[in-house]
Structure 1
């Protein structure tokens, strides 16, 4: 079966990127012909490992190697090269202006994307963000199985984007959300003509590492953005450190809020206890070195790092944010869910697991067992069943 994933940029770090590559690798391992189409490429190599039989194809390459080649050609530049440069500087006319990644696209990427979409005549094409799902619904031939994928909670999208969803998403053969709750919400919004399914992300291979839960480390990971709520987690941990000064909070990730978070750490005088440790390619090992995972997000789709922590046997304390944590954690059984944005409750939850070692280890063991439901092979089979069912209903040969 020919399966293509369409992603904005498959080369940097990011949850959607990691999930897409994981799904592609799993489907390739089951014998399918899998390709990842990256609209943009700004770095030479992808951050996450790609299986040998999975191809990553960029439509617009502005990576360092491509820029070096362009500079070498500059003295011999033709009108075509100058036109490309001009198009790269023009805003997109194809991408939805309400998509949060709108500014990363341009008129040149529009042209290349539209050419690609019109060239696809068979197989399965899966979009991985709203503006790409809309482009697939609008421009891809009906001979292709067209699927949109959502990685965020519905209510985090702006009204103009939701209006486009209602207009174009029913043209898709299926629209996949990460949680059953989001599937219900989207079905209500899109109506009975749309097929909405819940398709959770698969847990990536964590290399078999398992936390002992004996180290005095609480861990959190994600981009340093408002969404991840580290501005609330740091003051929560200040309370923890006041009671348990031998414990530390390690935060992994990069982003635009780094300076703000550094200022908060200094303001609260917890520099000896809270560490911003940047991006790591060794997240499984770092998770296995910790004893508690803290999720302080303001919103989530399907929290992949939480699932990765559970795969390593970590118990979690999580804010009860809209969708996400409750799809993975059973409060009081394998982790703790505390009231949304309640800094004191987050601190109390972490302290509870610090002080009750037996409960911490019981939760960790149950988290590990639950995470096994999300193996890549099992979810790849669910994708296959969806493809086959759509093909059968539409009379398409795969």
Structure 2
């Protein structure tokens, strides 16, 4: 069976890139013929290598008014050349919703949604435009053979009958757990507005006013258009924040921390939560759309704060710092998450989906 994954890029350190490359390699090892088509080339280094037997192609659509026409032409050219049994769309940009309108019906189409539907609506103010876009997205994913979302919360966002829930999985084997004794918090993710670093740094300022010996370590590719160093400078907390480049063995960083902080405005799943918790590190997160509430059970394996309530978020971080018994209890319960998100179970569900779509 031939699978073609369509995505923006596999470069960089994002959770989507890591999971997509791991799945492509896994299915290729299982006997599938797999290729990945990237539609937005990136200059970032590739941290997650594809196996030699996985094909890789890159298209560069023309910019400007002809972008979508160029995108369609180049995409169809590569689809025709590879002749996949199933196309899996992992590019969650607006153009991704157009695929069913111009792809021959002989190809089975899967839309793999890695973000909240509401991330697009947040940028549109007029209600009637939001309603129109919402409707367009629902109608478009209904034209796919299957919509795959990553959590029950994400499923509730879509008004369609063709959705399946297949969560991401823990990509590493357990390599040890944190002692939870270091005076260190960790945050991991791209330096982009949706990850909520603005409010995370604001919260950390309040934390360090009471506990100046604590340090926040942030792992992610730096972005001059969203300059976290400058934010930290303005808040006067540069001595309490350490910035690191992305690393493929990020689990080794988790086990040196005592709490993981997630302040995203929107998540597709919350891979950082899964990774940290598997290392026995309790997490504090906002209950943003979508994902955190499907992973964190408040006060049982982490602390989940109502979306937007910065005061309660600060209190939650302080409670983790001050209450060593709670920190160790949550960390112990958090590590059990690995049993819920095993790679074997996720791959089996994908394999079953592919087999059913191909009629085999």
TM class, shorter-length: 0.7 to 0.9
> How far apart are the structure 2 equivalents of 1:323 and 1:268?
29
TM-score between the two structures when normalised by the length of structure 1: 0.80
Assess, with a 3 A threshold, how the Cα gap between structure 1 residues 354 and 390 changes in structure 2: closer, same or farther.
Answer: same
5 Å-filtered alignment, 1:131-150, equals 131=94, 133-150=96-113
Residue 170 of structure 1, CA deviation: 2.0
- Indicate yes or no: 2:164 matched with 1:179: no
Is contact 1:117–1:139 with CA below 8 Å preserved after alignment? no
114, 117, 124: which one aligns with 1:151: 114
1:104 is matched with none
> How far apart are the structure 2 equivalents of 1:263 and 1:42?
25
5 Å-filtered alignment, 1:341-352, equals 341-352=308-319
> How far apart are the structure 1 equivalents of 2:78 and 2:239?
52
- Indicate yes or no: 2:140 matched with 1:168: yes
- Provide, for residues 107-132 of structure 1, a one-character-per-residue CA deviation record: whole Å limited to 9, x for no partner: 65443212123445442210012345
> How far apart are the structure 2 equivalents of 1:112 and 1:121?
14
> How far apart are the structure 2 equivalents of 1:152 and 1:204?
19
2:195 is matched with 228
> How far apart are the structure 2 equivalents of 1:19 and 1:161?
28
Residue 318 of structure 1, CA deviation: 0.7
Assess, with a 3 A threshold, how the Cα gap between structure 1 residues 164 and 35 changes in structure 2: closer, same or farther.
Answer: same
Is contact 1:224–1:256 with CA below 8 Å preserved after alignment? no
Assess, with a 3 A threshold, how the Cα gap between structure 1 residues 322 and 54 changes in structure 2: closer, same or farther.
Answer: same
- Indicate yes or no: 2:31 matched with 1:31: yes
Residue 290 of structure 1, CA deviation: 0.8
Is contact 1:145–1:387 with CA below 8 Å preserved after alignment? no
Consecutive unaligned residues in structure 2, runs of 5 or more? 122-129
Assess, with a 3 A threshold, how the Cα gap between structure 1 residues 258 and 169 changes in structure 2: closer, same or farther.
Answer: closer
Residue 339 of structure 1, CA deviation: 2.3
5 Å-filtered alignment, 1:318-397, equals 318-391=285-358, 396-397=359-360
Is contact 2:118–2:289 with CA below 8 Å preserved after alignment? no
Residue 207 of structure 1, CA deviation: 6.4
Assess, with a 3 A threshold, how the Cα gap between structure 1 residues 44 and 295 changes in structure 2: closer, same or farther.
Answer: closer
TM-score between the two structures when normalised by the length of structure 2: 0.88
Is contact 1:295–1:319 with CA below 8 Å preserved after alignment? yes
Is contact 2:174–2:279 with CA below 8 Å preserved after alignment? no
1:56 is matched with 56
Larger Rg: 1
89, 92, 103: which one aligns with 1:127: 89
> How far apart are the structure 1 equivalents of 2:289 and 2:62?
37
Assess, with a 3 A threshold, how the Cα gap between structure 1 residues 56 and 375 changes in structure 2: closer, same or farther.
Answer: farther
171, 175, 197: which one aligns with 1:208: 175
User: Aligned residues, how many?
Assistant: 349
Residue 42 of structure 1, CA deviation: 3.9
Assess, with a 3 A threshold, how the Cα gap between structure 1 residues 111 and 316 changes in structure 2: closer, same or farther.
Answer: same
Secondary structure of 1:294's counterpart equals: strand
- Indicate yes or no: 2:270 matched with 1:303: yes
CA RMSD between the two structures? 2.4
- Indicate yes or no: 2:223 matched with 1:255: yes
